[in-house]
Structure 1
Amino acid sequence: MTSQRDTLGWLKQGARAFAFGNPLYGLTLGGRGVTGLAAVPNDPWPGDSDMGAAIMDGVFPFGGDVMQAEEPVWVPALGYGRTWIACMNSFDWLRDLRAVGGDVARRQARTLITSWLDQNHGWNSASWAPDVLGTRIANWIAQHDFYCQSADDAFRSRVFESLARQTTHLSRVVPGPLQGSSLLSAVRGLAFGGLCLPGCDKALGQALKLLERELPAQVLPDGGHVERNPERHMLVLRHLIDIRTVLRAARHEVPEVLQHAIDRMTPALRFFRHGDGGLSLFNGGREADPAMTDTVLAQSDARGRPLKSAPHCGFERMLAGRTTLVMDTGKAPPPGLDTDAHAGTLSFELTVGRERLIVNCGSHPSRFGPWRGALAATAAHSTLAVAETNSAQVLEQGGLGRRPGRITCERIEGDGATLVEATHDGYVRSFGLLHRRRLYLADNGDDLRGEDTLEGPAGTSFALRFHLHPSVTPAAVAGGDSVLLKLPSGAVWRLRAAGAVLEVSESIYLGGGFGDGDEPRRTNQVVVTGDTVSDSTQIKWALRREKKPPPQT
């Protein structure tokens, strides 16, 4: 039955592609007669001037791939992944040119838009993909005052005609198979086109109906986004703020469901922030630029402290003294919404002040392929892996196969201290082993105690990993039962495991992606290995801040 449905889906998709690719289809899109915008919303999001300077030089680095060309090929046949194509054709990078400033950057923006119009006047499955299309429509409209200043009438006419044609096509194909954040990207484009382009009012009605349907499903009761990716959460919140902004610019009423979603997602975004201002690294998310996060929080115009617990999206946050800990205690998103999901159940990250100490490895900007398989693996997370096997099956082209079916979590607080106990059954089917993790953070934040237990038969290997941020310097202590971890500030923490030998080995970090580029950074991990014994295997460990030695007299 599934095979039959898949076959019908492919046939339908092929038929639509054949129809859209027919030159006659373009005649049905209209677009002539649109000479200006009915409303121009403000775009508050910061750009990256370094990225803008690269684009000025004809360098286009997106999604782990780089094209260098005076005039780019917007949909290359070979050598560039779908993430590069999506980023290139979305025009998010117009903000980076705006950050460079000046008329030269403005002219470069017009040159690239003209190039896109020349190569993509007709439908293309990649450059006209609905989520990419929606993002481009919103960016062309929101950046209008930047790139159209001093432009001639011929250029303006081409842009407005194309915007109307793109909006008409988008209204015909949405929602289609889109789900999650990708669908909201398309909805954002419908809202911008429907409100700002005369004659495209139908698109606004579609956008409002889809928001009414999607937001209660995608924004969970605790404010978390259903895809469980902190960076994606912030992007969705940005999209919702943009939709609210364009509604206000057009003097249209803001739907209650939209405002309510923004009000709930804002405290949840604060929940995922570490002390350095960056985001937690779970399920394909990276730190993101703290300046962008600050701007999103400010533009949301929503108050509310971060929750301690987010049970609906499945995360716990512990905060004591200067220590922040975030732990993944939730189920993977359902199929179709799990494109970026990782096999990192029960992993955690820990920051002291503004310094990251324990991390997960992050995510490659390409999102798919071999890097996806490596970085989504359980071994790339600060948790326990059994027999070098993932707790969920990671698919290189996105999504998960087999995954934990039952995850439990209990939180207890008292006198400023916090205990979280969680379990997952991702290894029960293959090895008969249940993983139980207990984390206790003392009230002063200087003492974290952990206990990882595997309940089940003997004779299976395991590895308990603590990935370190690249700024942390590890030093093994004689005897092998502890490792000293030195932070850039000079603070030292001792990681100790009872009855076990700790080894320091190499690791990689792809958590940043803004200040340090997209290249993997070398780092280290502390690993505890062993084999299960009968019935129950316990690994007790502690991470404590070392007291400063008394001054010499």
Structure 2
Amino acid sequence: MGDGFGRLRGGMARLAYGNPLYSLMLGGRSPGALAVIPPDPWPGDSGDGSAILAGVLRFAGQTILIDPAGEPSWRPHGAGPGWLRALHGFDWMRDLRAVGGDMARRRSRVLVWSWLDHNGGWNAQSWSPDVLGARVANWIGLHDFYCASADDEFRARVFESLARQVRHLARVLPAALDGERLVVALKGLVYGGFCLPDHEKAGYEALRLLDRELPRQILPDGGHVERNPSVQMRVLRDLIDMRAVLRVARVEVPESLQHAIDRMTPTLRFFRHADGGLALFNGGREEDTALVDTVLAQADARGRPLKSAPHSGFERLIAGRTLALLDTGSPPPSGLDRTAHAGTLSMEVSVGKERLIVNCGSHPSQRGRWRAALAGSAAHSTVVIADTNSAEVLENGGLGRRPSHVGCERQESDGAVLVVATHNGYSKGFGFLHRRRVYLADNGEDLRGEDTLEPVIGATPTDQPFAIRFHLHPNVEPLLIQGGAQVELRLPSGNVWRMRATGAVLELAESIYMGSGDEPRRTSQIVMQGQSSPEGITVKWALRRERKAA
């Protein structure tokens, strides 16, 4: 039904917007300049910018070559939806700015001019509201880089197109969008409304929609409803950008916007490992540490990282130099679960700036076979029963069947922390609850856990194979010792940790890591395998730092 409804809506959109009459309706007076120019503090990647100059376009995990001196095809054969969204959103212009120099500026102008030639009228992909919103914000925010010193004809074309795009955006929003994509679209309307002369009405409409949307998306603990640390960062960045536009336009910043920024900032810190990157939950990636730093600095919000994010469903255990992060929440609601994973009760552990236990991450495309593999429970440091996901992973985004209840309790005493969490994602198919207890001692050198498969009251479970997986960061060197009863884990710093378990057989197996970049890195995982009886089973495990001999 979802696909059929989407096709129907797409057909209606083509009838409504893809005709010459609608194009005429978007006409009107074109501004000759910006009323205000907002700041753009975000770093680009000069390496990616140099690649663009060489005709190599790398977006959303896909690389497509174009003529470095000519025009690109704006819908090349084989381009995936994520690649097309990135191309038409123009975030990459920041990478050209990072290269600097006249060649990068001229190339930006050639590409903008080409876009205007080939995308001046409505198109379902290039004019989808969130892509359009990103493009409007980027064209306005990067104005001084590519447009300020251009000739009059170029500037006139850019401003005429901006006005048309903003008029369309004001007509269609909220446009059945939800979550991060709606925020991006509203950001474009804020930029267009308050930076283009005589468009304030559109800007105030964007603020009205934003005021309605923020309580839906930003949970009381400051977490974003999609439960993805990368989305947390991007939405916070978008809100910071909107606040910056309002400040330069001398428009009062709504209280709801400022409060959202103040709440989201400590929660973004919550998701950070000490290496500066983000945890890998629900499609999130490590992200560029310089960008995370800049977002936190621009937020200008005090607030230490939370210990617990009960509304978002995450726990942070920290003692000494050891940090453990646990996913203890229900998956996001349907419609907001585009990047969600079947990783309930999964865990990541880092020691100082070194990651030790990880989840496998996600492919930049967030679709297809990569999504099916990396969003599955087996790609997370958690328990899997009979090679079955704790939530049904849909290949092109979202979840089907999922846990209906995830519970969590936290206790602290004299610097030590205990978290006990349960989920019922395996209750219908197998009649078991998964209960995970994780304890971190006050010195941070002793992390202990219990994973229990507990029969659901009234169910009649049968014997089932299970695996507890702990994926290791590629920099960790594992070695089976004590006749296979323990695993020694050596970190690059030379620190050594030792994993023991009772109630299951310890093995080392291959794994992959996609925390960053477009290509998977080979790594290892500790697998604790066993068979659960109808009465259930408990596996106890301990991860302790080895003291060096004096």
Partner of 2:549 in structure 1? 549
Matched residues in 2 for 1:49 and 1:369: separation? 30
Q: In structure 2, do the counterparts of structure 1 residues 429 and 262 end up closer, same or farther at CA, with 3 Å as the change threshold?
A: same
Which residue in the other structure is 2:327 paired with?
328
Q: Equivalent pairs: percent with the same residue?
A: 65
TM-aligned CA deviation for residue 354 of structure 1: 0.2
1:497 and 2:494 equivalent? no
What is the rounded CA distance, in whole Å, between the counterparts of 1:324 and 1:275 in structure 2?
8
Give 2:122's aligned residue: 123
More displaced 10-residue stretch of structure 1: 147-156 or 160-169: 147-156
Q: The residue matched to 1:467 in structure 2 has which SS?
A: strand
**Alignment coverage as a number of residue pairs:** 542
| Distance in 1 of aligned mates of 2:480 and 2:6 | 56
Give the equivalent residue in structure 2 for 1:114.
113
**Shift in Å, 1:15:** 2.0
Q: TM-score, normalised by structure 1?
A: 0.96
1:507 to 2:506 alignment:
no
List per-residue Cα deviations over 1:191-227 (Å, max 9, x = no partner).
0000011232221122111111000111000000000
CA contact (8 A) 1:31 1:160 kept: no
Q: 1:68 aligns with which of 61, 65, 68?
A: 65
Q: Which residue of 1 is the match for residue 149 of structure 2?
A: 150
Give the alignment partner of residue 17 of structure 2, picking from 17, 20, 24.
20
Counterpart selection for 1:461 from 460, 465, 472 = 465
2:478 alignment counterpart: 474
**One-letter code aligned to 1:535:** E
Displacement of 1:72: 1.6
- Aligned residue in 2 for 1:214: 213
Corresponding residue number in structure 2 for 1:345: 344
Contact 2:487/2:500, CA 8 A, preserved across alignment:
yes
Q: Distance in 2 between matches of 1:367 and 1:9?
A: 19
Q: Distance in 1 between matches of 2:320 and 2:5?
A: 58
Q: Is the 8 A contact 1:351 1:357 kept in 2?
A: yes
Secondary structure of the corresponding residue to residue 161 of structure 2 = helix
Structure 2 residue aligned with 1:139:
138
| 2-structure distance, mates of 1:499, 1:6 | 45
**CA deviation vs aligned residue, 1:142-176 (integer Å, no higher than 9, x gap):** 00000124311100001000000110111111101
User: CA-to-partner distance for each residue in 1:522-546, whole Å, 9 max, x for gaps?
Assistant: 1110101111023120100000001
Deviations 1:377-400 (A, max 9, x none): 000000000000000000001100
1:17-60 CA-to-partner distances (Å, cap 9, x unmatched) read: 12211122211111543111001000000010000000111110
- Counterparts of 1:106 and 1:392 in 2: how far apart (Å)? 47
Q: For 1:426-451, what per-residue CA distance to the aligned partner results, in whole angstroms no more than 9, with x for missing partners?
A: 00000001100000000010100010
SS in 2 for 1:426: coil
Cα distance in 2 between the residues matched to 1:162 and 1:507: 48
C-alpha displacement at 1:458, in angstroms? Answer: 4.3
Instruction: Give secondary structure in 2 for the equivalent of 1:107.
Output: helix
Q: Distance in 2 between matches of 1:426 and 1:230?
A: 22
Paired amino acid for 1:354: K
Q: Counterpart in 2 of 1:97?
A: 96
- SS in structure 1 at match of 2:483: coil
Change (3 A) 1:6 1:472: closer
Look up the match of 1:540. Answer: 540
Which one-letter code corresponds to 2:63 in the other structure?
A: V
Write out aligned runs for 1:231-250 (5 A): 231-250=230-249
In the TM superposition, what are the counterparts of 1:272-421 in structure 2 within 5 Å? Answer: 272-421=271-420
Name the structure 1 match of 2:436: 437
Query: Residues 191 and 242 of structure 2 are in contact (CA less than 8 Å); yes or no, is this contact kept in structure 1?
Result: yes
**Is the alpha carbon distance of 1:110 and 1:182 closer, same or farther for their aligned partners in structure 2, counting shifts above 3 Å?**
same
Could you say what secondary structure the match of 1:479 adopts?
helix
In 1: Cα distance, 2:21 partner to 2:155 partner: 24
Partner SS for 1:342 = coil
> Matched residues in 1 for 2:17 and 2:462: separation?
59
CA contact under 8 A between 1:363 and 1:510: conserved in structure 2?
A: yes
| Residue type of the alignment partner of 2:535 | D
Distance between the aligned counterparts of 1:224 and 1:11, measured in 2?
34
2:33 aligned partner: 36
Residue identity in the other structure for 1:184: V
| Aligned partners of 2:383 and 2:466 also within 8 Å | yes
Structure 2: distance between partners of 1:200 and 1:53: 36
Q: Is the 8 A contact 1:75 1:126 kept in 2?
A: no
Distance 1:7 1:112 in 2: 35
Q: Deviations over 1:255-302 (max 9, x none)?
A: 000000000000000000001010010000001011101100000010
One-letter amino acid of the counterpart of residue 117, structure 1: L
- Work out whether residues 286 and 362 of structure 1, in 8 Å CA contact, stay in contact via their aligned partners in 2: yes
| Counterpart contact for 1:481–1:499, Cα < 8 Å | no
Partners of 1:116 and 1:10 in 2: CA distance: 26
Deviation of 1:10 after TM superposition, in Å, equals 4.4
Match for 1:429: what amino acid? K
Q: CA deviation at 1:12?
A: 4.4
Distance 2:301 2:21 in 1: 48
**Aligned counterpart, 2:458:** none
Distance 1:495 1:117, change over 3 A: same
Does the 8 Å CA contact 2:10/2:124 hold for their aligned counterparts?
no
Structure 1 residue identity aligned to 2:35: A
Q: 1:59 aligns to what?
A: 56
Distance 2:209 2:30 in 1: 28
CA distance in 1: counterparts of 2:491 and 2:114, whole angstroms: 48
Deviations 1:283-322 (A, max 9, x none): 0000101110110000001000111100000000001000
- The one-letter code of the counterpart of 1:69 is I
Q: Indicate the residue corresponding to 1:179 in structure 2.
A: 178
Tell me, what secondary structure is at the counterpart of 2:302? coil
Q: Which residue of 2 aligns with 1:197?
A: 196
How many Å separate the matches in 2 of 1:519 and 1:295? Answer: 26
Q: Secondary structure at the match of 2:489?
A: strand
Query: Are 2:217 and 2:225, in contact at CA under 8 Å, matched by a contact in 1?
Result: yes
* TM-score (normalised: structure 2): 0.97
**Counterpart contact for 1:458–1:531, Cα < 8 Å:** no
C-alpha distance in 2, partners of 1:271/1:520?
A: 26
Gaps of 5+ in 1: none
Closer/same/farther in 2, CA of residues 543 and 9 from structure 1, 3 Å limit: closer
- Deviation digits for residues 107-128 of structure 1 (CA, Å, limit 9, x no counterpart): 0110111111111011110011
Contact 1:481 / 1:500 at 8 angstroms: preserved in 2?
A: no
Cα deviation, 1:469-514, whole Å, max 9, x if unaligned, reads: 01111111132111101100010100111243211111001102xx
Contact 2:362–2:514 (CA under 8 A) maintained in structure 1: yes
Q: Indicate if the aligned counterparts of 2:37 and 2:195 stay in contact, CA closer than 8 A.
A: yes
C-alpha distance in 2 between matches for 1:545 and 1:252 = 55
1:50 to 35, 43, 47: 47
SS in 2 for 1:88: helix
Secondary structure (helix, strand or coil) at the match of 2:51 reads: helix
Supply the distance in 2 between the matched residues of 1:106 and 1:143 (Cα, whole angstroms). 11
Q: Is the 8 A contact 2:432 2:536 kept in 1?
A: no
Tell me the distance in 1 between the aligned counterparts of 2:94 and 2:292: 16
Counterpart-to-counterpart distance in 2, 1:371 and 1:224:
26
